[in-house]
Amino acid sequence: MSNKVILVIMDGVGYDTALSQCGYLEGMVELGRAHRWKMRTALPTISAAMYETIHTGLSPLDHGVSGNEALRRSNVPNIFDQLHQAGHSTAAVAHSYFHTLYNGPYDPVEHVEVEDETKAIQYGRFYSMEGYSAANICAPAEIDLCAQATRLIRRHTPDYVLLHSSSVDSLGHKYTADSAQYRIQTWHIDNALARTIPIWREAGYDVFVTADHGMNADGHHGGNEEIMRNVPFYYFGAAEVPAKDQVLDQLAIAPTVLSRLDVEIPDSMKQKPLL
């Protein structure tokens, strides 16, 4: 039997920060009600490149999205297209980059809300953070993002739901990873998830929580530092899991999601499913 899946991407939350700040996620691990591993990202550790890596199982050097600039639609097999082609429904509450990657060029008036069964992301709620500055971070509240995802779940019961929060990354760039702002916002995501993951589990979803990359004390990522490459990977669900001390590969996320949904894994996704 296939399971419905929610993937949460906490943009820019490194492994050590998750372990020290995510009291809910770590509490559930401590009680044996969730699993958590260290995951190693691909390179370069840049957001849009990692979004595409997470959804295609390919290194940026293979999928061709090597940065945030000149972003274009994905042209290799990815979670959203594979599910759509297999007749599954998908949803996303995410930065507009995800619209560009899987639905095409983003126009805020046309695409801030998407309800279109012909699209790879059929049900979408997108935010642009346009005007983001030190004076106004322009990030939605974590609980509002969770609420939007939960509303889409109640209305459409999509098979795959992506929830992506950009706030920690933005604050990390402004204040660095060695700052109260970065650490406390990580806790805000955790706190919103504490109120929401129980609702999602009750609705029958497996839940994964991870990050695209970490952040260093310069307020930067993109390179090969441990603090940029090590991210958490949490799993809430009943499947058999790898040993807890195993370091997981980010390239395995895409085939893992497809496998949970009983969808054929394309040849381009070389890693074995984690579960």
Residue ranges in contact with Zn ion by CB under 5 A: 11, 47, 169, 212
Pairing status of strand 123-127 against strand 160-165: unpaired
CA neighbor of 228 nearest in space, from 162, 169, 166: 169
Element holding 154 (H helix, E strand): helix 142-156
CB-wise, 81 or 169, nearer to Zn ion? 169
Strand 4-10 and strand 90-95: pairing? Answer: unpaired
CB of 154 to Zn ion, least distance (A): 29
What is the full DSSP assignment across 32-94?
A: TSSEEEEEE--SS--HHHHHHHHHHS--HHHH---SSTT-----S--HHHHHHHTT--EEEEE
The one-letter code for the residue type at 174 is: K
Q: Which two tokens stand for residue 137?
A: 């971070």
- Given the complex with Zn ion, which of 11 and 190 has the nearer CB atom? 11
Nearer CB in complex with Zn ion: 84/221: 221
CB of 245 to Zn ion, least distance (A): 26
- CB nearer to Zn ion: give 41 or 148: 41
Q: 142 or 212, CB closer to Zn ion?
A: 212
Nearer to Zn ion, 47 or 82 (CB): 47
Contact 166, 95 (CB under 8 A): yes
- Least Å distance, CB 269 to Zn ion, is 22
Q: Tell me how far, at minimum, the Cβ of 47 lies from Zn ion, in Å.
A: 3
β-pairing, 113-115 vs 247-249, is: unpaired
Calculate the CA 98 to chain-centre distance: 10
- Least distance from C-beta 41 to Zn ion, angstroms? 10
> What residue is closest to Zn ion based on CB?
47
Between 84 and 213, name the residue whose CB sits nearer to Zn ion: 213
Bridge partners (DSSP) of residue 123 are 91, 115
Tell me how far, at minimum, the Cβ of 8 lies from Zn ion, in Å: 13
For the bound state, the minimum distance from the C-beta of residue 128 to Zn ion, rounded and expressed in Å, comes to 15
Phi (first) and psi of residue 253, to 5 degrees = -65, -50
Cα 72 to Cα 193: distance, rounded to the nearest angstrom: 31
